[in-house]
Amino acid sequence: MKKTSLRAKILNAPYIVWAILFILAPMFMVVFYALTDRSGSFTLQNITALAVYKETFGRSIGYAAVATAVCLLIAYPLAYIMARSNASKQRTLMLLIMLPMWMNFLIRTYSWISILANTGIINSLLRALGLGPVQLINTPGAVILGMVYNYLPYMILPIYSIMCKLDYSLVEAAQDLGCSSRSVLRRVIFPLSLPGVVSGITMVFVPSVSTFYISQKLGGGKFLLVGDSIEMQFQTSYNYNLGASLSLALMVMILVCMVVMNRFADEDEGAIIL
């Protein structure tokens, strides 16, 4: 018994060192910078200065929430269809979902500029059809589209993997007992797939709320998200303390969102509220 635990310790060691070096130490530094001033003495000034950024936070959360909802609406039926189709079709669909991820995220986002631009592919087509140019780029819609496009796979994959493991005999049992197909979805399939949905929501919401590249390129830089504000504190105004304080606030908010989400997942009845 003792031997295995020692072995387990040794096997765990690299991960623990990794976690301390690259997760705990940076987190500690964020907290330290957020609560100190330039000379290193304790202050709450950086936290109170956040009041200026409340609209920025509000916008970031709003956009990320919409993007997450859209991802869920697209991903849920798709994941279900994938899980129910035959093996070769599943492989093909999976490849199609993964394929764009082999390309660099920045390049994929940049290419949306030439698709959505006023002289871009869509508007050139619309102009040829006499439907006139439509303002697509530099709008909130374009930013949300960028988020949905980039993070959709992170919603599909966890839901799909849960759906694959779903015991289909439960669905059949419900049908045998005269449950309508809508009720099967609502009372059997959805509650069973909830853990996948929760992890999908987390995996889409977190990167969406902290992004800055997508808003800069597709939003035309006309509005700042929290990620932009953090970048600016480090890059242009050298105010690492305020930057850390913004990051800390963002982390706390994400943490709160995750705790709330996990509560939903724990309660069976919670599923129906959604």
Partner 1 sequence: MKKLLSVLLVLSVFAGLFSLSGCGGNVAHIDAEKLIGNYDVEELRGTQMNFYTWGEYISDGSEGLPDVVADFERITGIKVNATTYASNEDLYAKLKAGGASYDVIVPSDYMIERMILEGLLQKPNFENIPNYRFISDEYLDLFFDPSNEYSIPYTGGMVGLIYNTTRVTEAPDSWSVLWDETYAGDMLTFNNPRDAFGIAQCLLGQSLNTTNPDDWYAAAEKLKEQKPLLQSYVMDEVFDKMEGGEAAIAPYYAGDYLAMAAVNPDLAFVYPKEGTNVFVDSMCIPVGAKNKAAAELFINYMCEPEVALANAEYLRYLCPNTAVLEDERYTLKGNPILYPTADFKTEYFHNLDQDTLDLMSKLWNEVKLA
Any contact of residue 208 with partner 1 (CB under 8 A)? no
CA distance 138 to 268: 42
Work out how close the CB of 40 gets to partner 1 at its nearest, in angstroms, rounded to a whole number: 15
Listed in sequence order, the residues at least 6 apart from 216 whose beta carbon sits closer than 8 Å to its beta carbon are 228
Closer by beta carbon to partner 1, 59 or else 187:
59
Any contact of residue 210 with partner 1 (CB under 8 A)? no
Closer by beta carbon to partner 1, 150 or else 233:
233
Annotate the chain with three-state secondary structure. Answer: CHHHHHHHHHHHHHHHHHHHHHHHHHHHHHHHHHCECCCCCECCHHHHHHHHHHHHHHHHHHHHHHHHHHHHHHHHHHHHHHHHCCHHHHHHHHHHHHHHHHCCHHHHHHHHHHHHCCCCHHHHHHHHCCCCCCCCCCCHHHHHHHHHHHHHHHHHHHHHHHHHHCCHHHHHHHHHCCCCHHHHHHHHHHHHHHHHHHHHHHHHHHHHHHCCHHHHHHCCCCCCCHHHHHHHHHHCCCCHHHHHHHHHHHHHHHHHHHHHHHHHHHCCCHHHHC
Among 36, 109, 211, 233, binds partner 1 (CB under 8 A): 233
Among 140, 141, 191, 220, binds partner 1 (CB under 8 A): 220
Q: Which stretch binds partner 1 (CB under 8 A): 82-90, 124-132, 191-199, 228-236?
A: 228-236
Any contact of residue 53 with partner 1 (CB under 8 A)? yes
CA distance 240 to 232: 10
* CA nearest neighbour of 245 among 226, 265, 222, 219: 226
Any contact of residue 232 with partner 1 (CB under 8 A)? yes
Work out how close the CB of 214 gets to partner 1 at its nearest, in angstroms, rounded to a whole number: 13
Any contact of residue 211 with partner 1 (CB under 8 A)? no
Q: Build a one-symbol-per-residue string for 95-114: x at contacts with partner 1 by CB under 8 A, - elsewhere.
A: ------------------xx
Question: Segment 134-193, which members bind partner 1 (CB under 8 A)?
Answer: 137-138
Work out how close the CB of 48 gets to partner 1 at its nearest, in angstroms, rounded to a whole number: 13
Among 217, 227, 245, 247, binds partner 1 (CB under 8 A): 217
Work out how close the CB of 39 gets to partner 1 at its nearest, in angstroms, rounded to a whole number: 12
Q: Which stretch binds partner 1 (CB under 8 A): 91-99, 156-164, 195-203, 219-227?
A: 219-227
Work out how close the CB of 27 gets to partner 1 at its nearest, in angstroms, rounded to a whole number: 18
Closer by beta carbon to partner 1, 38 or else 165:
38
Q: Which residues bind partner 1 (CB under 8 A)?
A: 38, 52-53, 55-56, 113-114, 117-120, 137-138, 216-217, 219-224, 228-229, 232-239, 242
